[in-house]
Structure 1
Amino acid sequence: MELWMGVKLLLGNRKRGIFSLLGITGAVMGIIMTLSLGRGGREMIDSDLLAMGENRILIGGSTLTSRDLQMVEAMDFVEYGMFPESRVTIGEYVFIGYPKRALLKKGLKNLRLNEVIIDKNQMDNKPGERLSIGGRTYTVGGTYGERNPLETMRGGKRLMVSMETLNRNFGRGNYKSMVIAFPRGENSQEYIPIIINQLSRTRGVNDRIEILETPEIYKSVERVRVLVNRVLLTISFIGFGIGTFSVVNLIGSSVKSNMSTMGILKSMGMERKRIVRIFFYEGLMVVVLGSLIGGILGVLGSYLGGRIVGIEPKFNFLEIILGIGLGMGVSLGLGLRPGIKGSKIDVIDALKG
């Protein structure tokens, strides 16, 4: 009975109900998009060794070799090193050389000579199959999915190989720049002089090592990313605030306009908690329906927004459920106050409206 009466009250307040519904829908949609795209962007940066946001530096010199890389990686405070130029194009294929530590950082295995890891978004070969490219035979050792939009916009089918394979098969070995990454949270600035001095010892006067990019560039990018996430979260909470206000307004106006009906129900002996339950169901329907619609639109919006900005959304449904549940609880908790207050009114006063 209380549920049916709640439905009738809601249908009698269509305009206010729609306003409340839109507030809850927008808030839920905003929270889902913020959490999913934020997490997806973070994972993309973590999985891509050349993406902005890493705690790293870029050094340059007239000649940098695998020996220099080994020297750098022997330092305890270095997480990994790699050469951004370690790529060779053969026809439609692009061979990208990765050192062992860089492969492990990406969650991949170390590669043997002439073993490749292919981008599964471009090629459907299975592990163990053989590929004949440029007169050489390669064995597929595994697959991965490239997510960095800066990489996917480039042409060619991507093949990861070890630095040994790249240097031996294509005559590479000398590079102009090297990425050196440090564990997150480390103060990499204090390590820069040590690295420069170590690499400069075995060089001539004309072969200088210099810093091309410092961690500050990437830290500023990270600050922008955090700022954007905070702005989106703030917008979501403002949306929930509007939704909560609209639910309070809906129940409050419903109590006010149905005062005489409450008087009749109380005169017939209906208990206060049953009267409160009527208004609770009215608000609950708006909150649940708005959350469902917002949830669907949030997921669709995350995929659409992800396509536009080149980020694959990652959904942590526990976070989403907790966020929505908290918002629903606050909205209904505050929204019930007018209903509880209205249920305490004297029967005579209620009948007078």
Structure 2
Amino acid sequence: MAIRVGMLWEILVIAFDTLRANKLRSALTILGVVIGVMSIVAMTALITGFSDSLEGQIRAFGSNTVFVQKLGFQSFSSGRSFLELIKRPNLTNDDAKALGESPLVGEVGLQIGGGGPFAAIERMSFAGQATKRFAVIGATSNWGDMNFIPFMSGRFFGDFEVLNRRNVIVLGYSPAEAMFLTRGIDPLGKVIRVGRDSYTVVGVMDKRPAALGDANGFAVIPYTTYEKRYPTPRFRGIVFRPLTIVVSSAEGVNVDELRTEIESIMRARHRLKLGEENDFDTVTADFIVAFLRQFTKAVVLALFVISSIALMVGGIGVMAIMTISVTERTREIGVRKALGARRREILVQFLIEAVFLTMLGGLLGIALGAGIGYAVNVFAGFPVSLPLWSFALGVGFSATVGILFGMLPAVKASKLDPIEALRYE
């Protein structure tokens, strides 16, 4: 065992000396491996960071919440066309009231706008300071509680203000920062312009982390005020009311039971026959998270396939330099064989040298990939995650490349005839 360990150490020293003696050639050889592993680690850090952050935001809605929509994430993910989905009947306030009467339902809220092609997007201004265009959402008084967004100051509007269509507004962190916080002004009670209308600020929501884009770039007004200010949009003559009904379960009711109850009530209200598909969507946080995870796995797999091309280029370079090394060290191989070295030992020597080269490239790629991930996080604020399995994959890929592409030169070296090798000039 001591002899084998000593030989292994000697081989590593020889490999390092070979690398040091041919710095430029060795650097060019492992460049492909460095690029491939760096791509894997950096992109994995960004993709998993984005996925984890977005999953956290989705789960913030609660595991017992169901979103009922005319057309939503569920239908689009199944591949249906927009023209087919928009012909569905609009959701109504009466649908929400009917759902609220079920004993399985705890609380029901409404939201209009906030996303999609029919969202209301407006500039906001106060005392000469204007913002960029932010989303304006119409909602019921329980919207803040059902979305679990913490408050920085003030309050959410109440039922009285919703019923009387008052021009009150709750600001997300981004518009509040742009108009007030950067100037040290307390926004509560101030009257701001939103498009052509004036609103009194009654509350400001706290900042929340963003997985993509600005998660704090919005403002909320009573949904009755929203309907008065923004007429129901039309698309090719079809009236589209962008209403989402948010339903939470009663105590002791799980989300599957709640979803089944919602579908039963909505199908009865829409007079759907047995066997007919739902003309509405019921989406839960778990469904979105499951789809997100599948999407992330597909993206990571595609990334590995693309990065493997760079690794193959690096492997070809390793095979080329190891073949040259075998030719340059033919006499050395002959001497080692003459002194009793077996074919297996020669093969292992050159194979370890190849693996040493590629693993060095893999370690450099891991360091650079992690550095890129942290740099993006620091300078762009993009969420980053560096799972240990991405490091293990980087090392494993680089070692595999060394074994696969170093095998041919190693076999060639092990098969050299010692007499012919000693005569080689």
Whether the TM-score (by the shorter chain) exceeds 0.5 is yes
Shift of 1:28: 0.7
Root-mean-square deviation (CA, aligned residues, Å) is 5.6
Shift of 1:324: 1.1
Equivalent residue, structure 1, for 2:207: 143
8 Å CA contact retained: 1:55, 1:181: yes
8 Å CA contact retained: 1:31, 1:236: yes
1:196 correspondence with 2:266: yes
**Closer, same or farther in 2 for the Cα pair 1:181/1:266, shift >3 Å?**
farther
Equivalent residue, structure 1, for 2:30: 21
Equivalent residue, structure 2, for 1:102: 147
What TM-score does the superposition give when structure 1 sets the normalisation length?
A: 0.61
| Equivalent residue in structure 2 for 1:327, among 397, 407, 410 | 397
Equivalent residue, structure 1, for 2:359: 287
| CA distance in 1: counterparts of 2:109 and 2:51, whole angstroms | 21
| CA distance in 1: counterparts of 2:144 and 2:99, whole angstroms | 9
1:315 correspondence with 2:381: no
Question: Which of the pair has the greater relative contact order for Cα pairs under 8 Å at 6+ separation?
Answer: 1
1:119 correspondence with 2:173: yes
Moved more, 22-31 or 32-41: 32-41
| Equivalent residue in structure 1 for 2:69, among 52, 58, 61 | 58
- Which runs of structure 2 are paired with 1:1-353 in the superposition (5 Å)? 5-7=14-16, 9-10=18-19, 17-18=26-27, 20-43=29-52, 45-47=54-56, 57-59=68-70, 60-63=90-93, 67=97, 70=100, 74-75=104-105, 83-85=111-113, 91=125, 98-103=143-148, 108-109=149-150, 114=155, 118-119=172-173, 123=177, 131-134=187-190, 142-149=206-213, 158=218, 166-167=221-222, 177-178=243-244, 193-197=263-267, 211=279, 227-265=298-336, 267=338, 276-277=348-349, 280-281=352-353, 283-289=355-361, 291-293=363-365, 295-296=367-368, 299-300=371-372, 312-334=382-404, 337=407, 338-339=409-410, 342=413, 347-353=418-424
8 Å CA contact retained: 1:276, 1:340: no
Give unmatched runs, 5+ long, in structure 2: 1-9, 59-64, 71-89, 115-119, 157-169, 192-199, 229-240, 250-254, 272-277
Shift of 1:247: 2.9
8 Å CA contact retained: 2:334, 2:421: yes
Shift of 1:323: 0.9
- Amino acid corresponding to residue 301 of structure 2 in structure 1: R
Instruction: Please list the CA deviations of residues 81-125 of structure 1 after superposition, one character each: whole Å capped at 9, or x if unmatched.
Output: 65143789764587755343332xxxx458997167853797396
Q: In structure 1, the residue corresponding to 2:48 is in which secondary structure?
A: helix
**Closer, same or farther in 2 for the Cα pair 1:180/1:5, shift >3 Å?**
same
8 Å CA contact retained: 1:33, 1:301: yes
| CA distance in 2: counterparts of 1:341 and 1:125, whole angstroms | 71
Instruction: Please list the CA deviations of residues 236-278 of structure 1 after superposition, one character each: whole Å capped at 9, or x if unmatched.
Output: 2343344345434433442243211222355578898699557
Equivalent pairs counted in the alignment come to 318
Instruction: Please list the CA deviations of residues 155-181 of structure 1 after superposition, one character each: whole Å capped at 9, or x if unmatched.
Output: x9646x7xxxx549x856998511558
Moved more, 27-36 or 267-276: 267-276
- Amino acid corresponding to residue 145 of structure 1 in structure 2: P
Q: In structure 2, the residue corresponding to 1:132 is in which secondary structure?
A: coil
| CA distance in 1: counterparts of 2:261 and 2:317, whole angstroms | 55
- Amino acid corresponding to residue 144 of structure 1 in structure 2: R
Instruction: Please list the CA deviations of residues 54-91 of structure 1 after superposition, one character each: whole Å capped at 9, or x if unmatched.
Output: 99652333546975675689449x9x965143789764
8 Å CA contact retained: 1:58, 1:214: yes
Q: In structure 2, the residue corresponding to 1:145 is in which secondary structure?
A: coil
| CA distance in 1: counterparts of 2:401 and 2:366, whole angstroms | 15
- Amino acid corresponding to residue 69 of structure 2 in structure 1: L
- Amino acid corresponding to residue 55 of structure 2 in structure 1: D
| CA distance in 2: counterparts of 1:85 and 1:146, whole angstroms | 20
8 Å CA contact retained: 1:40, 1:313: yes
